[in-house]
Amino acid sequence: MKAALITGASRGIGAAAARLFAENGYHVIVNYANSEEKAHALCDEIEKNGGKATPVRADVTDRDDVRRMISLCVYHCGGIDVLINNAGVDFYGTFGDTDGEVWDRVIGTDLTGVYNVTHAALPELLESSGRIINVSSVWGVHGASCEVAYSAAKAGVIGLTKALSKELGPNGVTVNCVAPGYIDTDMNSRFGRQAVNNVIDRTPLCRIGTPEEVAKLMLWLCSPDSGFITGQIIGIDGGFM
């Protein structure tokens, strides 16, 4: 059974990916930092539906935590075939209000966290000729007012993806990035109806996306059909302008 490690998998896009990968025969490692109850409930749900899932607590900003998580992946699964770097936090506020602590938290989780987990998992991914999927954002491509730290971190994920794909390509490891637009998740639930309508007005498909749609793209990027695709930044944003 192949193994997929999904960071930040207790809710939203990560949880949708965990369900879908489990349905398609993967042993899913559900990583979480704080949402223990949600992570365990998700794993219970997956197991009741005939899948295989193991919850593992680790803060992606803590390298000791990350190394322990990778060791547990190897213990439970024998290796890692797919790594989905999904864990993320954001901050909505002006650049003037983005103090050093906020900047460090967002960059540390959304960008350095990708480095920490990928670097620790690299020996296992090289062994399996695995797949790496990094989660950026439409704001990593276009930038967003009042989300400077988040936009910078997600732009960094794009650069990391492009560079690492060139380095790992000769080893048969693909590295791709999905860049979701406005997706119906807890992270976006704080925005009011008017803000959502403004996004919909800028989206040619005239709606917001779902976590399940992003998860399906991730699963396809791990399929044999996508074996010649690497270093790509794939927008899943309804054509957002």
Q: Hey, which residues are catalytic here? A: 150
Q: How many CB atoms are located within 10 Å of the residue 109 CB?
A: 22
Residue 26's SS3 state is coil
Query: Could you tell me which residues come within 8 angstroms of residue 152 by beta carbon, excluding any fewer than 6 positions away?
Result: 107, 111
Where do the DSSP E strands lie in the chain?
3-6, 27-32, 52-57, 82-85, 131-135, 174-180, 233-236
Q: Which amino acid is at 172?
A: G
Residue 87's SS3 state is coil
> Distance between CA 54 and CA 75 in Å, rounded?
11
Q: Which amino acid is at 219?
A: L
Burial of 234 (0-12, 13-18, 19+ CB in 10 A): middle
Q: How many CB atoms are located within 10 Å of the residue 33 CB?
A: 20
